[in-house]
Structure 1
Amino acid sequence: MLLIAASAQAESDDPFAPLELPLTEISSPAGTPSESYWQQQLSYKIDARVNTDKASLAATAVLNYRNQSPDTLKTLWFELPQQRFAQGSLAREKYQAGASEAGGTTRLRVTDSAKQPLRTGWQDTLVAVTLDEPLKPGQQVQLHFDWDLKLVSRSHPLVPRSGYEQINGENRLLAFAQWYPRAMRYGPQGWNLRPFVKNAEFSLEMADFSVTIDAPPQYLLLGSGDWQSAGQNLPESVFKRYRQVSADSPTTLLRPAQPWPINNQQPWRFKGEQLRDFTFVAVRDVIWQARKVKHSQGDILITAVYSDNGRWLWHKYALEAGVFAIDELSEWLSKPAAMSIHLVNIAGLGMEYPGLKLVGFRGPDADIGGPAPEYSRTQKYDVIGGILHEIAHAWMPMTVNTDERAEGFFDEGITSYLAFWLEQRWSENFQSFYGEPAKVGAVMSATDYLPPVTFAEEVSSKLDSHYHVPAVALNILRETLLGRQQFDTIMADFFQAWRGRHAGFADFIRFVHHQSGEQLDWFWRGWFMQRGYVDIELGGAQLILPQHWSNEQKLAYLRHYPSAPSLTRSRNSQEGAAFEQRNPGLLDRHSLMDDQTYARLDAQTAAVEQPQLRVTLRNKGSIPMPVPLQLHYADGTAESHLLSVDIWRQNPEQVEILLSLAPDQAVSLLQLDPLMQIGDAKRTGHRLTQPEF
């Protein structure tokens, strides 16, 4: 499925060679959906019964599946990723987790609309349903599912993206994710049938959902989509506050000590249109806060849910961070697909779902009404940064759908950049773990580094290859290559063009090229498709004087440059002026020239109007980049230049460029990449304090 990676490897070693990007019938050369764009149409009606004590559920579902593709389908593929916790799974074998807690589905029955059994075939976390009659283009089939599911602990060694957390021996926080037979995406390249092992996430279709859940009455349920039964599920006093939530100030909807009725609990009902997934949590003894964000297309509800055992940082920052992120991103990229977003603090791996964000970072336990506990800078910014990141996922891949299994770097990279953008707007001193070019060189020059297009199960560090490096690349694209205004407009337009649809990385590349008018093949190749890093250094700088200058003019200019120091002259000057200097009548123009200045009169000249600096640049890495240079003059002024990446087209290893100098000042320092904006890995050879003459 990694078509971009495959084609990139087959190309010339020329970093400026055109990329051969895959183009399918659903994409246009401009990077927008084509006129013949299609995606499958699905609607689920699910009924589930939750057993919180056993961290399990039993459920049935009716799926209406309309084939919008041009192909006839004999088999439909679904995934139940929690089968990675089942005995004998690929994940257990690969990560030697055979003795750990078992989970997943032990019972799955699939029937047709006449309730006749259909043949199923398992492929680890994937299941194939063979249809009695092939599904032709434009036809619809109805499938009935009946299954069970057992969650595992959030502390499981296979790192679940769902699961339960126990507090004081009780299952107080349960995240039911990847819990139903999820239809895998069928696209122009067919099915992506790689099982979910650990790191390569999900390839899903958009679908409509109608979900009814029975659960023990002491639990609060929050899920994707619109909550249809809040008035029946919530105590009257809580429901009243729920309806009064506004954008003015946060509202505390629930406290652990607040009475919660245990009788006459009604089923929980949720609905959602064109959601990428459906997930829900069942929680008890929690603090539940809410606030709204005003938006021209309808207010967005944001809530924070955290347990009562001392989530001090969550009480102080969670809702504020959530409101901030939604407000900032919806202003830039329009509203997200879900109009209600719940932040749930549950131990374990952070994970994004439509309308529901699991965040594992917590900080110290302390009474939320007491004094501030001791906490580290990392603990604080882990909590805030984790929330900002998961909310950014509301746009990618929840609003614009992607194939995370094939191109995990695409959604995580854009999300990580959006999170970095938010972090830096939250605080000028935010502890961002990815996104800053100055931090990426060590990652990309490591011996085990693999480029972002690498399949997620094969990279040595997913956080480096799929989060950090793409986020830095997008930062460079915005700050150095395109400029903020153009980049921001392109991103907003991309999200609008692909809203509710499925986009690939090749579509993004073509969209950026078409909107900007720039061909950035060298950039995508170097930062995303091939292993390598940036390492540019100053090889030297030579002063060039105008040919038409007289010796007097040259001398007047050269006096601005200090001569080499001398211990003898320094000590003599401390004892007083020399004889000739004490007798002005003996002075002439030669009295004003030391040996070095006299030698400099023979400096190289050229037919130029003012002094110039011939700068030699060496590219010791494999990625060509624009070169930021800064000239500092002796009077304290500075002059900045950004040399185009095109300087490397003729010779990708070394170039010489000419910089015009102020005609009456000496260059005191030449700096390469002074703001550390190009991700240079070495940072050696970046300063020259004296030009050659």
Structure 2
Amino acid sequence: MRGLFLAAMSLVAALSAGAASAQVSVGPVQQTTGTFEDKFRQFEGEDWPTPTDYRSASGAPGFRYWQQKVDYDIDVSLNEATRTLTGTETVTYTNNSPDRLGYLWLLLDQQNYRRASMAERTRTVGSDTTLSVNEVVRVQRFQEWEGGFNDLKITGSDGQDLPFSITDSLLRIELPQTLGTGESFTFTISFTLPLPETNVVGGRSGYECFTKAWEDGNCIFLAAQWFPRLAVYSDYEGWHNAQFLGSGEFTLEFGDYNVSITAPADHQVSATGALQNLDVLTAAQRQRLDQARTADEPVYIVTPAEAAAAEASPARSGTRTWTFAAENVRDFAFASSRKFIWDAMGVEQDSAEHPVVMAMSFFPKEARPLWDAWSTKAVAHTLDVYNQFSITYPYPTAQSVNGPVGGMEYPMITFNGPRPLRGDDGSLTYSERTKAGLIGVIIHEVGHTYFPMIINSDERQWTWMDEGLNSFLQYQAEKLWDADFPARGEPRQIIEYMISENQVPVMTQSDSILQFGNNAYAKPATALNILRETVMGRELFDRAFREYAQRWAFKRPTPYDFFRTMEESSGMDLDWFWRGWFYSTDHVDISLDNVIAVSLESQDPEDRARAASARFEAEPESRTVVNNRGIQTVTERDPSVRDYYDETDAFTVTASQRRDAARARTAAEADANRRQALTFDDNVYRFTFSNRGGLVMPVILKLNWSDGSDEIVRIPAEVWRRNSQTVTWQHVSSRTLVSAEVDPLWETADANRANNGFPQSIQPSLVPLAPQGPQGSNRMRDDDRRVTPDSLRPRTVTP
């Protein structure tokens, strides 16, 4: 009972202290008094997982690191008339983990097209007062069509059925006996899959048919997430069995693929891997493909004329089988259409295995002239830049395919959407924005071949690890394509998001993110750009980033492996940076509150008196004294009341002051340090900064001197280590300071430039001319009007 009493009293005391002052986080414990907040506390032992034999404290894979291997042999047929895939896959699963497995989990991501799926049941809409045409059409389509895998049948290597169950977008296979370390299990799955019409129901794959009056009626088919795939089993989570809700993408295992794709006889097929049966091409096409390997410009493999002939006279029957092989990939996708024009060029690189990578594009005539001009060249440029920043591209091909998907990536193949606009006269035109959009999306999606298709992060849990890192490198590639390219990654561009209330930390799980583009793409990309240019410098950052990519190529990194590698390789403690940019919703707002010029006072009493007199004369006179002018005072009327102090001013030096100064000089001459200090005549400037946004950052300070020169001083973020709210910093110079400015190059995403200068300046702002309001005195707004029964009637939807 005594123990319970003491515990209760301790709880009361803690609650009382908490009520008296807000708790402040200083680490794994809480303080209840004071305002100190340790922005530089270490993550180790607090928020980051403890290192293991599988993942070391340095951020590298541990000496016992393992991951599973999954190999696929697949035969699939495309039925153009029914828009359906029919397939059979034989899977060999190798258990490299130290655990015995009693069952396997597989991903059925296409199940989100089931009417009763979790993804479909939890769809939300942006407004309860409007209904768009697209929403109506989508609802109508789901009344007549339903996606997802059908006719599933699973058998073991002995031909016997294997029991399985489906939980929304996941399938569980019960193994006949547990699978031990180093053992493999082979099974076969057959299935059918209706493809969605992408422009109607959305998604990352499907089909698009050109059925308008002036179009040719043919279709493009994009197949992704099209076969049951093994879920991940990892050292840090076990089975990765989070349901697919539409946002979090696909974490998979590496393996070898052999895939045969049977398509209509006049289709061209683009796919993950290398084409094994080149005889599906004509002799002329094979010759062009060989020529393209050494060409300086893209070469047509399938010419516009050949594609136009196929479109004009579609094959009524017959099929052709394309066979592809891919080693050490984590997924497989393909595209098929008779509309495809195909061009290619070789990209040389420093690799014994793949000294030439074939950059290739597949597109319909509706994508010209944009695609012939820039698609394949953008693929080649991406390989050049990403090879410098990360690893040498390890595959034989890199492909860009035009279709209904705006942008999506798979090993060696990407789907990209931008096309020119068709005019009323049938002409095709494009804007500068469309051109930049095409180049940008190709760089981004081909870049995903590196992140996460090779550096294999968990997209469903930490979306920023593939989207953010890739968007950062996309920014670098775009700026190396054209210095004026409208790239996403400039610090000033992220300010509006960082000061908004509608944000969550970057480390938020994918399906809970509020603003996906800003949170998972733009903010981490901007953070890494600032880390490279401002915090670490290019040399340290680039070396550490390459080391991360090389360490984790064909492996599965977590955020902590990235954070630790960047610190370990560079020799910089960056916990403060990760905490501010990735774990919080703080923003950058460093204010230059005050600047004081400090100088030593002269030891000569005459000099001090003159200086004091000058300061006094610079002060304005009393308002009362000014208004009393013309009125005689007593001391002016009556000389008898005046004495020595009336005849002299307050700045007259007395004999006693001269004696005191002489004694001080004598003492100073006996003290060498004091004597040296008295010779100091430089200007000492003290700057007071306050951190109003909460996110600690380096302080970049521009100093403008009276001689017309200027300089930029870079103060490390550690200046905030003892006080993260306000600091005073000192700078000494023989020159005279005129003004100062924080973040003069706009490189830290500082949200309020009005408080960056001293003296502060008037900030310009352009505002639109508002339309004239209603005349008269009635200023009642529409939303203030009384609600009537008529106003509650539902609005008519006009599709």
Residue 9 and residue 155 in structure 1: after superposition, are their counterparts in 2 closer, same or farther (change >3 A)?
Answer: farther
Deviates more, 1:676-685 or 1:462-471: 676-685
Please give the per-residue CA displacement for 1:493-544, whole angstroms capped at 9, x wherever unaligned. 2211111111111101111111111111111111111222111111111111
How far 1:10 sits from its partner (Å)? 6.8
The equivalent position to 1:396 in structure 2, one of 432, 443, 451, is 451
Measure the CA separation in 1 of the matches of 2:609 and 2:543: 50
Separation (CA, whole Å) in 2 of partners of 1:612 and 1:380: 54
Out of 42-51 and 250-259, give the one that drifted further. Answer: 250-259
- Residue 14 of structure 1 aligns with which residue? 38
Report if aligned partners of 2:72, 2:91 keep a CA contact under 8 Å in 1.
Answer: yes
Q: 1:221 to 1:549 in 2, by over 3 A?
A: farther
Structure 2: how far apart are the matches of 1:181 and 1:554?
Answer: 91
The 5 A counterparts of 1:526-541 are 526-541=580-595
Report deviation, 1:683.
2.3
Distance in 1 (CA, whole Å) between partners of 2:271 and 2:264 is: 16
Deviation at 1:546, TM superposition (A): 3.7
Secondary structure in 2 matching 1:21 = coil
Contact 1:667 1:690 in 2 (8 A): no
Superposed displacement of residue 78, structure 1: 0.7
Aligned to 1:644, which of 716, 735, 751? 716
Aligned partners of 1:30 and 1:511 also within 8 Å: yes
- Are 1:164 and 2:236 an aligned pair? no
Distance in structure 2 (CA, Å) of the matches to 1:276 and 1:180: 13
Matched, 1:233 2:283: no
Work out whether residues 304 and 344 of structure 1, in 8 Å CA contact, stay in contact via their aligned partners in 2: yes
For 2:174, what is the secondary structure of its paired residue?
strand
- Counterpart-to-counterpart distance in 2, 1:468 and 1:499: 24
- 8 Å CA contact retained: 1:546, 1:610: no
Cα deviation, residue 690, structure 1: 8.1
Amino acid paired to 1:350:
G
**Contact 1:312–1:364 (8 Å) recurs in 2:** no
Q: Which residue of structure 2 lines up, in the alignment, with residue 73 of structure 1?
A: 101
Alignment partner, residue 6 of structure 2: none
Q: Indicate yes or no: 2:371 matched with 1:323.
A: no
Which residue is 1:117 aligned to?
161
Alpha carbons 1:538, 1:688 under 8 Å: kept: yes
2:510 match: secondary structure: coil
Which string of whole-angstrom CA distances, capped at 9 and with x for unpartnered residues, describes residues 208-254 of structure 1?
Answer: 1011111111111111111111x221122111101211242210122
The aligned runs of 1:226-305 (5 Å cut-off) are: 226-229=274-277, 231-245=278-292, 246-258=294-306, 266-297=320-351, 298-305=355-362
| Structure 1 residue 564 displacement after superposition | 12
Q: What's 2:565 paired with?
A: 511
> How big is each residue's C-alpha offset from its partner over 1:153-205, in whole Å with a ceiling of 9 and x where there is no partner?
12134x31111111136452111100111111100121121111111111111
Counterpart for residue 182 of structure 2: 138
Query: Distance between the aligned counterparts of 2:404 and 2:552, measured in 1?
Result: 34
- State the alpha-carbon separation in 2 of the partners of residues 164 and 328 from structure 1: 32
Q: Deviations over 1:67-116 (max 9, x none)?
A: 10011111111102111112211121122666434222122111111111
Q: 2:192 and 2:602 mapped to 1: Cα distance?
A: 90
Q: Distance in 1 between matches of 2:373 and 2:249?
A: 32
**1:417, distance to aligned residue in structure 2 (A):** 0.2
In 1, Cα distance between the equivalents of 2:163 and 2:28? 41
Q: Which amino acid aligns with 2:565?
A: F
Per-residue displacement from partner, 1:398-419 (whole Å, max 9, x unpaired)? 1111111111111111000000
Contact 1:310 1:366 in 2 (8 A): no
Q: Is the 8 A contact 1:619 1:652 kept in 2?
A: yes
Tell me which amino acid in the other structure corresponds to 1:27: R
TM-fit CA distance, 1:283: 2.0
Tell me which amino acid in the other structure corresponds to 2:39.
P
- CA distance in structure 2 between the aligned counterparts of 1:527 and 1:629, rounded to whole angstroms: 21
- Alpha-carbon distance change, 385 to 200 in structure 1, aligned in 2, over 3 angstroms: same
Which amino acid in the other structure matches residue 540 of structure 1?
N
Q: TM-score, normalised by structure 1?
A: 0.86
Contact kept, 8 Å, 1:92 with 1:98, in 2: the verdict is no
Asked if the contact 2:414/2:446 (under 8 Å) is kept, the reply is yes
Number of paired residues?
632
Whole-Å Cα distance in 2 between the matches of residues 151 and 618 of structure 1?
57
Partner of 2:117: 89
Alignment of 1:560-575 (within 5 A): none
Cα distance change of structure 1 residues 374 and 174 upon mapping to structure 2, 3 Å threshold: closer
How far apart are the structure 2 equivalents of 1:315 and 1:609?
69
Q: Which amino acid aligns with 2:719?
A: I
Structure 1 residues 544 and 47: CA distance shift in structure 2, 3 A:
same
Cα distance in structure 1, aligned partners of 2:565 and 2:609 = 53
Quick check: 20-29 or 74-83, which moved more? 20-29
Alpha-carbon displacement from aligned partner over 1:575-605 (angstroms, at most 9, x marks no partner): xxxxxxxxxxxxxxxxxxxxxxxxxxxxxxx
Q: Hey, what does 2:766 align to over in structure 1?
A: none
Q: Is this contact kept in 2: 1:40–1:205, CA < 8 A?
A: yes
Matched AA of 1:323 = A
For the Cα contact (< 8 Å) 1:257–1:285, is it kept in 2?
A: no
Amino acid at match of 1:299: V
Q: Is 1:413 equivalent to 2:468 in the alignment? A: yes
Q: Which residue of 1 aligns with 2:33?
A: none
Pick aligned residue for 2:246 from 185, 190, 198: 198
Deviation at 1:125, TM superposition (A): 1.2
Question: What code does the residue aligned with 2:415 have?
Answer: L
Conserved? CA contact 1:438–1:680, under 8 Å: yes
Contact 2:56 2:62 in 1 (8 A): yes
Deviation at 1:464, TM superposition (A): 0.7
**CA–CA separation in structure 1 for the residues paired with 2:540 and 2:52:** 27
Please give the alpha-carbon distance, in whole angstroms, between the structure 2 residues aligned to 1:272 and 1:554: 88
CA distance in 1 between partners of 2:152 and 2:708 (Å):
75
Alignment partner, residue 26 of structure 1: 54
Secondary structure in 2 aligned to 1:322? Answer: helix
Letter in 2 for 1:659: H
Letter paired with 1:47? D
- Cα 1:296–1:564 change in 2 (3 A) is farther
**SS in structure 1 at match of 2:350:** coil
Contact 2:341 2:362 in 1 (8 A): yes
Q: Which amino acid letter does the alignment assign opposite residue 681 of structure 1?
A: A
Q: Does 1:685 align with 2:755?
A: yes
Indicate the SS of the match to 2:362.
strand
The CA deviation string for residues 100-146 of structure 1, in whole angstroms up to 9 with x for no partner, is 34222122111111111112111211111111111112211111111
Shift of 1:301: 0.7
Q: Secondary structure at the match of 1:382?
A: helix
- Letter paired with 2:82: K
Please say if residues 366 and 419 of structure 2, whose CA atoms lie closer than 8 Å, have aligned partners that are also in contact: no
Contact 2:248-2:510 within 8 A present in 1 as well:
yes
- SS of alignment partner, residue 174 of structure 1: strand
* Counterpart mapping for 1:512-591 below 5 A: 512-547=566-601
Contact 1:533 1:681 (C-alpha < 8 Å) held by counterparts: yes
Instruction: Name the SS for the 1:122 alignment partner.
Output: strand
Q: Structure 1 140/630 Cα, relative in aligned 2: closer, same or farther at 3 Å?
A: same
Q: For the structure 1 residues 78 and 138, does the alpha-carbon distance in structure 2 shift closer, same or farther, using more than 3 Å as the test?
A: same
Report deviation, 1:549.
Answer: 8.6
Distance (whole Å) between structure 2 residues aligned to residue 9 and residue 222 of structure 1: 53
Structure showing greater radius of gyration is 2
TM-score, structure 2 length as denominator?
A: 0.75
Is 1:148 the counterpart of 2:192 in the alignment?
yes
How far is 1:677 from its partner? Answer: 1.1
* Cα distance change, pair 151–16 in 1 and its aligned pair in 2 (3 A): same
SS of the counterpart of 2:429? Answer: coil
Query: 1 or 2 for the larger relative contact order (CA 8 Å, sep ≥6)?
Result: 1
Name the amino acid aligned to 1:51.
Answer: N
